[in-house]
Amino acid sequence: MTGGESDRFHERLRAFEGRPAATAGRGKDAVNEAMIRHWCEAMGDTSPAYTGPDAIAPPTMLQAWTMGGLSGHTDRSSAYDELLALLDDQGCTSVVATDCEQEYLRPLRPGDEVTFDAVIESVSPRKTTKLGTGHFVTTRMNVRANGEPAGIHRFRILKYAPAARPERGREARPLPERGHSGAPSRPRPVINRDNQGFWDGVREHKLLIQRCTACATPRFPWLPGCNACSSPDWDTVEASGAGTVFSYVVMHHPPFPAFTAHEDPAEAGGPYAVALVELAEGVRMISNITGVPYDKVRIGLPVQLEFLRVDDSLELPVFRGEAG
């Protein structure tokens, strides 16, 4: 597609902006304790806000109350189907959900009847991603409880033409980015506003654990709120660095050179252990074990924090096992 054709196609797609994606939707069930309990069990969320006579539903359940289940909804608009068909015709036959954003306007409580409407909010210009080239389609769902605005759920998909995959063994395959050791670079951690402080600590060789200032419960990984009491207020404690292996797995396949032993090049490409380490402070984190061969890692193995310089721009907290 030339640039001009691409612009004209985007104009046709943009004509769908503002048109309905779903109208007069109705939740299949009223907000109810059973679904709230199942959600909390699946998420491991023990907050007392979600049980008892004054229970509210976890805010992130917003979309759950609007889902059609296997039998689907009958309220999907013809405009949304037409938009998807137009993209199909242009070869954008694959779809992947990329992200969602939610805004909460009022808590949902058992008994609330949920209704909603959704609109096609935006269709992006043509974009090329690792998956392929296509368009992001964002829908905005306005969710109501007993007729009052309760929240907004934005949902984004990428409708795309899959990128051709190089055949196995062909030299055309792009080479992965390499670290200074010649091995492929490790994937970078995803740093966001919720965990920025943790990675700031790592830079100073501190392993920082969040601690709820309301109920003193420590937590890891970093989260915006306390799972025990829901308080958003927290400070940090620096881990002593002492811990034990709580559980572990040994990765055999597929070989992933970026994750093989850095200390002993002879082991490059070989199996490696991924451990769940229980820190003395009571939280657990997933990390690598150094100083002990992968087949000598055991549950209960005492370990001590150290920082592994992986490459010029990446340093990671890992745990040194006491060999013996």
Of 21-29, 116-124, 138-146, 205-213, the window that binds Zn ion (rule: CB under 5 A) is 205-213
Q: Which of 31, 79, 120, 212 binds Zn ion (CB under 5 A)?
A: 212
Task: Give me the least distance between CB of 288 and Zn ion, in Å please.
Answer: 30
Of 4-12, 185-193, 224-232, 298-306, the window that binds Zn ion (rule: CB under 5 A) is 224-232
Instruction: Name the one residue in this structure whose structure tokens are 């940090």.
Output: 236
Is position 215 an interface residue for Zn ion (rule: CB under 5 A)? yes
CA distance 265 to 262: 6
Per-residue binding string, Zn ion, 157-196, x by CB under 5 A, is ----------------------------------------
Q: Which of 31, 108, 119, 226 binds Zn ion (CB under 5 A)?
A: 226
- Nearest alpha carbon to residue 118 among 148, 134, 95, 142: 142
Q: Which is nearer to Zn ion, 78 or 213 (CB)?
A: 213
Concatenate the DSSP letters of all residues of 277-310 into one string.
EEETTS-EEEEEEESS-GGG--TT-EEEEEEEEE
Of 96-104, 192-200, 214-222, 271-279, the window that binds Zn ion (rule: CB under 5 A) is 214-222
Of 32-40, 167-175, 207-215, 237-245, the window that binds Zn ion (rule: CB under 5 A) is 207-215
Q: Which helix (H) or strand (E) holds 78?
A: helix 78-89
DSSP state of 72: -
With the C-alpha atoms ordered 11, 125, 156, 159, is the resulting torsion angle positive or negative?
positive
Instruction: Name the one residue in this structure whose structure tokens are 């969602």.
Output: 100
Is position 227 an interface residue for Zn ion (rule: CB under 5 A)? no
Is position 229 an interface residue for Zn ion (rule: CB under 5 A)? yes
The answer to whether the CB of 62 falls within 8 A of the CB of 143 is yes
List contacts with Zn ion (CB under 5 A): 212, 214-215, 217, 226, 228-229, 231
